[in-house]
Amino acid sequence: MKQLSLDNLRALVAVVDMGGYAKAGEYLGRSQPAISLQIKRLEEQIGRRLFQRQGQKQQINADGLLLYHRARQMLTLNDDILREFEQSQLTGQLRLGLPSEFATRVLPSIIGDFSKAYPDVTLEVSCDLSKSLLRKDQRKEYDLILALDNEPGEFGPETLLQDELIWVARAGYQLDAKNIALVAAPQGCIYRQRARQSLQQSGLRWRVSYTNADIGGITAALKEGLGITVLAKSTLPDELVELKHPALPNLGKVGINLFIQSEQHPQASSKLAEFIRSRLA
């Protein structure tokens, strides 16, 4: 019976996530020809082409995308099994900073599994706006930071996901396109900036109806019908829905970046980063 190589599947996932063969090679510590060979072997084994050339680039096709999603599932299961049976020798305290919307959507699936796998590692979590987390005087307070960041600083980030920004409201919300009420975090929030820029460029009339830095407060205001907001699609709360209206402009995408900067506990930080990557896949 044929068996797919997990190493080859990992190469495929890296090519898609990193945006190319060369970057995938850098990420996996292999040469670009080695990555190309792994992709070729995958194609030979399943009897399908996974990429097609568009100009100077190789673009993943429909078969490649299908295999990519299945590969992510297989690799996550493989990594979870290894972590489950791994004898934890990691100790220490990790400080993780992230926006509150990610704490709501990502943390619940991380804390339990990570604590079971590495019971001697204490995880301290702080929530704030991405801009605040990435300030030079604040950034040093964390071992890892998950943030939306349009202007990377001295610590280079790893982009985990290019996520779509969407308009969000409660179910059944009736938008007044002539006077849009915006629920937003305080000044400096990337969501607020993108909403303001998009609405101004579209010539729409709008106002900020409610301000709160915490996703819980924003969610409560939206559920009361105080207006609409902007969020990354992957962080959409269960109680809210994406609002689609012909008057609302497209918001584009934003990078969700991971900053790893621990000097005291690099191994523990690396393990926590693996958990975050798998949950955002």
The last residue of one of the domains, among 31, 54, 85, is: 85
H or E element in which residue 241 lies: strand 241-242
Q: Please check whether residues 35 and 71 belong to one and the same domain.
A: yes
Domain total of the chain: 2
49: containing domain: 6-85
* Residue bearing the bigger pLDDT, 201 or 20: 201
Q: Please check whether residues 222 and 97 belong to one and the same domain.
A: yes
Query: Which amino acid is present at 121?
Result: V
Q: Please check whether residues 172 and 75 belong to one and the same domain.
A: no
Q: Is residue 26 part of a domain?
A: yes
pLDDT(106) > 80: no
The last residue of one of the domains, among 24, 56, 85, is: 85
Characterize the bridge pairing of strands 180-184 and 206-211: parallel
Among 10-24, 152-166, 231-245, 252-266, the range scoring the smallest mean pLDDT is 152-166
pLDDT at 274 (0 to 100): 84
Q: Is residue 109 part of a domain?
A: yes
Q: Is residue 150 part of a domain?
A: yes
| CATH code: domain of residue 160 | 3.40.190.290
Q: For the chain, how far is it from start to end, CA to CA, in angstroms? A: 29
| Confidence tier at 82 by pLDDT (50, 70, 90) | confident
Among 96-110, 139-153, 217-231, the range scoring the smallest mean pLDDT is 139-153
Q: Please check whether residues 110 and 138 belong to one and the same domain.
A: yes
pLDDT digits (tens, 9 = 90+) for 124-158: 999 988 888 988 888 888 999 999 876 544 445 78
Q: Please check whether residues 202 and 148 belong to one and the same domain.
A: yes
| CATH code: domain of residue 30 | 1.10.10.10
Q: Please check whether residues 80 and 99 belong to one and the same domain.
A: no
Residue 211's φ and ψ, nearest 5 degrees, are: -125, 135
DSSP string, 119-182: TTEEEEEEE--HHHHTSHHHHTT-SEEEEE-SS--SS--EEEEEEEEEEEE-TT----TTSEEE
Q: Please check whether residues 94 and 184 belong to one and the same domain.
A: yes
| Confidence tier at 101 by pLDDT (50, 70, 90) | confident
Q: Is residue 1 part of a domain?
A: no
Q: Please check whether residues 73 and 134 belong to one and the same domain.
A: no
The stretch 169-196 carries a mean pLDDT of 94
Q: Is residue 138 part of a domain?
A: yes
Q: Please check whether residues 76 and 154 belong to one and the same domain.
A: no
pLDDT digits (tens, 9 = 90+) for 48-73: 999 988 877 788 999 999 999 999 99
pLDDT at 102 (0 to 100): 85
Q: Is residue 154 part of a domain?
A: yes
Q: Is residue 171 part of a domain?
A: yes
Q: Please check whether residues 62 and 106 belong to one and the same domain.
A: no
The last residue of one of the domains, among 85, 109, 129, is: 85
Per-residue buried b or exposed e for 145-172, using 16+ beta carbons within 10 Å of the residue's own CB:
bbbbbeeeeeeebbebbebebbbbbbee
Q: Please check whether residues 149 and 233 belong to one and the same domain.
A: yes
Q: Please check whether residues 24 and 65 belong to one and the same domain.
A: yes
Q: What is the mean pLDDT of the chain?
A: 87
Q: Is residue 186 part of a domain?
A: yes
pLDDT at 55 (0 to 100): 76
